[in-house]
């Protein structure tokens, strides 16, 4: 059974109300790889969705059902992340924007110097710094391959974490721009895979014309026809996004749903898309 798409406002703004996860039987996470892996991507997307769930008891039950365990949860001033482990690997999952304080961090678009290269979004830097020392200390004791992941603001924090302590790979979903072009270049040798669901509006911000904000990592772009393209040109992306503008004129059924630019940012829709690409 595949995960259903959900284009409602509720799915967008209250992803923590979900209780159904891992609808299908996913193949095992692949540890021997050099490039983007579609199996790993769908696991990371589902874990990035699950981290929104506030109740530890529900997270634990879901994780145990797929032979995983949440061994550590970090929470400081609305920055949250958890370490999820198996015998063979660990995954650091950052929670995305959920409350008004998170969105205020998102709006703090001033660039500030980043000690590992370039300049980054001040709000994201401050959010990561609230938990990083404790997170880094915990990661030091792990002796297995580590992945980082997150959705939305969680994707931005995972990207900054990858700059500080590169993991085996980082998978981000619906990530805003995190820093300037110098920062993006500093991560060129780090495995960062940035998944974008078609018209996801959050991936447009902050605008690239503002203070040289640039995206990080290898782009895996999901088209309107549900194809995955790697690093397509900006001209292609623009045409692909614009094509459905014309198709949806007069589609009255969508009037009370979020516009596609926001529905495509919904965590469950990333999972549904990636499941269908397996």
Which tokens sit at 30?
């692949």
CA distance 23 to 68: 16
Measured CA to CA, the distance from residue 176 to residue 183 in angstroms comes to 14
Q: Is 128 helix (H, G, I), strand (E, B) or coil?
A: helix
pLDDT higher than threshold 90 for residue 170: yes
Residue 132 has pLDDT above 70, yes or no: yes
Rounded Cα distance, 242 and 221, in Å: 15
User: Which of 103-112, 119-128, 165-174, 209-218 shows the lowest per-residue confidence on average (mean pLDDT)?
Assistant: 103-112
pLDDT at 21: 93
Give the residue, 8 or 151, on which the prediction is more confident. Answer: 151
Two tokens, residue 3:
């995960």
Strands 218-222 and 192-197: what pairing?
parallel
- pLDDT-derived band at 246 (thresholds 50, 70, 90) equals very low
User: Exposed e or buried b for every residue in 49-68, given b needs 16+ CB within 10 A?
Assistant: bbbbbeeeeebeebbeebeb
| Nearest residue to 196 (alpha-carbon basis) of 237, 144, 256 | 237
Mean predicted lDDT score pLDDT of the chain: 90
Whether the pLDDT of residue 100 is over 50: the answer is: no
Domain 9-276: CATH superfamily is: Alpha/Beta hydrolase fold, catalytic domain (3.40.50.1820)
Domain ranges of the chain: 9-276
pLDDT score, position 273: 95
- Please state which of the ranges 19-23, 66-70, 249-253 shows the lowest mean pLDDT: 249-253
User: pTM of the full predicted structure?
Assistant: 0.93
* Range 75-81 average pLDDT: 93
CA 120 to chain CA mean position, Å: 17
Out of 4-18, 36-50, 64-78, 175-189, which region has the weakest mean confidence (pLDDT)?
A: 4-18
CA 69 to chain CA mean position, Å: 20
2, 79, 13: which is closest to 46 by C-alpha? 2
């Amino acid at each position: 059974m595949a995960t259903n798409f959900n284009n409602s406002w509720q799915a967008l703004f209250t992803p923590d109300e979900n209780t159904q996860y891992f609808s299908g039987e996913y193949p095992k996470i692949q540890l021997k790889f050099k490039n983007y892996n579609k199996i790993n991507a769908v696991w990371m997307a589902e874990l990035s969705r699950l981290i929104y769930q506030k109740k530890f008891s529900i997270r634990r039950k879901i994780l145990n059902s797929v032979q995983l365990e949440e061994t550590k949860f970090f929470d400081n001033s609305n920055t949250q992340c958890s370490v999820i482990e198996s015998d063979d690997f660990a995954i650091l999952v950052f929670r995305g924007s959920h409350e008004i304080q998170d969105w205020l961090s998102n709006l703090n678009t001033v660039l500030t110097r980043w000690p590992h290269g370039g300049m980054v979004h001040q709000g994201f830097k401050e959010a990561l710094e609230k938990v990083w020392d404790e997170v880094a200390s915990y990661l030091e004791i792990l002796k297995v391959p580590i992945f980082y992941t997150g959705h939305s603001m969680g994707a931005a924090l995972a990207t900054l974490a990858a700059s500080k302590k590169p993991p085996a790979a980082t998978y981000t979903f619906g990530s805003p721009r995190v820093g300037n072009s110098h920062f993006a270049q500093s991560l060129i040798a780090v495995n960062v895979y940035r998944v974008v669901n078609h018209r996801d509006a959050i991936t447009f911000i902050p605008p690239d014309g503002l203070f040289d904000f640039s995206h990080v990592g290898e782009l895996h772009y999901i088209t309107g026809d549900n194809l995955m393209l790697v690093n397509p040109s900006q001209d292609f992306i623009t045409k692909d996004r614009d094509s459905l503008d014309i198709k949806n004129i007069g589609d009255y059924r969508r009037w009370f749903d979020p516009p596609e630019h926001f529905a495509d940012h919904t965590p469950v829709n990333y999972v549904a898309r990636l499941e269908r690409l397996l």
